[in-house]
Structure 1
Amino acid sequence: MKWIVVCPYLRLEPDRGVAALVGGEQVALFRTFDGGLHAIGNVDPISGAAVLSRGIVGSRGARVVVASPMHKQAFDLATGECLDEPGVYVPVFPVRVSDGMVEIGDSR
């Protein structure tokens, strides 16, 4: 797997998303309040708009989610599963911190 450097970890604000282009694909990157990192596809599969990085981060039970700014469907940041539309998913990308820099895995 190839790791793509996206940004310094400390530039990410807790519970906010940013968009990045990784291997030609839009990725929504989130740093959660507890310091965790998540990377999912940025395109909302319901509306087709590249907006998930601008969604609201929250939780449903024990699941950390982002709500799409388009129609408010919640997507699990760990699995990519849409909790409001059965069978709908966004891709999930591996993400890590190396030497203070956030890297997203590109398996191509």
Structure 2
Amino acid sequence: MGAALLFGLTACTQEQQNKLGREIQNWTGTNGVLEFYAGDKLVRRFIKIDKLSTAMGTDDGKPRPYRFGYGVLDENLNFTADSGEKKVYFEISDYGSNYLFFENPR
């Protein structure tokens, strides 16, 4: 069984492997962090993000120029969901946004 799975993965293209990895990661969840910068200064951080989703058009099904998700607004930038810091919805424009998304190292 394991050999068949290994063979199946090696037969996939790199893009198919990446897509499968993203689907598994989306299913299991991640502890993502999203940071916004103004120049070199960190101005906003969201933590405990499961995933970023690309908005899709209702009628045409085409991707829209923004992403969205849910995360805890880390108001004091300490990587911890403190009392009073709530989970919120956010959107990120593809136009001129200066952001970084990564898995929380803590």
TM-score, length-normalised on structure 1?
0.29
Q: Which of 1 and 2 has higher RCO (CA within 8 Å, sep 6+)? A: 1
Q: Kindly indicate which of the two structures has a greater share of residues assigned to helix.
A: 2
Q: Kindly indicate which of the two structures has a greater share of residues assigned to strand.
A: 1
TM-score, length-normalised on structure 2?
0.29
